Amino acid sequence: MMKNNNDSHWSVIIVGGGIVGAGIFRDLSKHGVKTLLIDKNKISSQTSKSSSKMLHGGIRYLENFDLGLVKEALTERNLWLKITPHLCYKENFLIPVYSNSNRPLWMILVGIGIYHYLSGQISKLLSFKSRSELKKSFPELRTSDLRGAGLYEDAVVDDEQLTIEVVEDALHNKSCDVLENHALKSLVKKGDRYFLTVYSGEQKLELSCDELVFATGPFTDYLLQNLNCFPWTSKLLLSKGSHIWIDKKSLTLPNPVVLTPNDGRVIFVIPYPDKILVGTTEVKLDGPPKEIKPSEEEIDYLISNLNEFFSNTTITRDQLIGSYAGIRPLVKEGSSDLGNTSREHHIYQPDRNVYVILGGKYTTFRVMASDVASKIIRKMKRPYMPHLSMEPFKSEKKDPEVL
Ligand X SMILES: Cc1cc2nc3c(=O)[nH]c(=O)nc-3n(C[C@H](O)[C@H](O)[C@H](O)COP(=O)(O)OP(=O)(O)OC[C@H]3O[C@@H](n4cnc5c(N)ncnc54)[C@H](O)[C@@H]3O)c2cc1C
- The residues of the shown chain that bind ligand X, judged by CB under 6 A, are 15-21, 38-41, 45-48, 50-54, 56, 183-184, 215-219, 223, 241, 280, 326-329, 360-363
Residue with Cβ nearer ligand X (147 or 185): 185
CB of 166 to ligand X, least distance (A): 11
CA angle 184, 1, 346 (to 5 degrees): 50
Minimum Å gap between C-beta 50 and ligand X is 6
Distance in angstroms (rounded) separating the CA atoms of residues 161 and 373: 22
CB of 164 to ligand X, least distance (A): 12
Question: 177-179 and 35-38 as β-strands: parallel, antiparallel, unpaired?
Answer: parallel
Number of H helices, E strands in the chain: 8, 18
Beta 9-15 vs 35-38: how paired, if at all? parallel
Q: How far is the CB of 193 from ligand X (least distance, A)?
A: 19
The CB-of-72 to ligand X minimum distance in angstroms stands at 12
Q: Which is nearer to ligand X, 150 or 218 (CB)?
A: 218
Question: Considering beta carbons, is residue 256 or 326 the nearer one to ligand X?
Answer: 326
- Would you say 363 and 77 are in contact if contact means Cβ atoms under 8 Å apart? yes
Comparing CB distances to ligand X, the nearer of 45 and 307 is: 45
Point out the residue whose Cβ comes nearest to ligand X. Answer: 18
Closest to ligand X by CB, 187 vs 251, is 187
Classified as helix, coil or strand, 209 is strand
Taking alpha carbons only, the member of 61, 55, 74, 70 closest to residue 121 is: 74
224 vs 251 by CB, closer to ligand X: 224
Query: What CA–CA distance (Å, rounded) separates 219 from 388?
Result: 29
| CB of residue 354 to ligand X, shortest distance in Å | 15
Ramachandran angles phi, psi of 171, nearest 5°:
-75, -5
From the list 54, 96, 103, 91, the residue with the least C-alpha distance to 76 is 54
Q: Which is nearer to ligand X, 146 or 211 (CB)?
A: 211
The least distance separating ligand X from the CB of residue 240, rounded to whole angstroms, comes to 7
Which residues are within 8 A (CB) of 277 and not within 5 positions of it... i.e. 6 or more apart?
52, 53, 243, 244, 245, 268, 269, 270
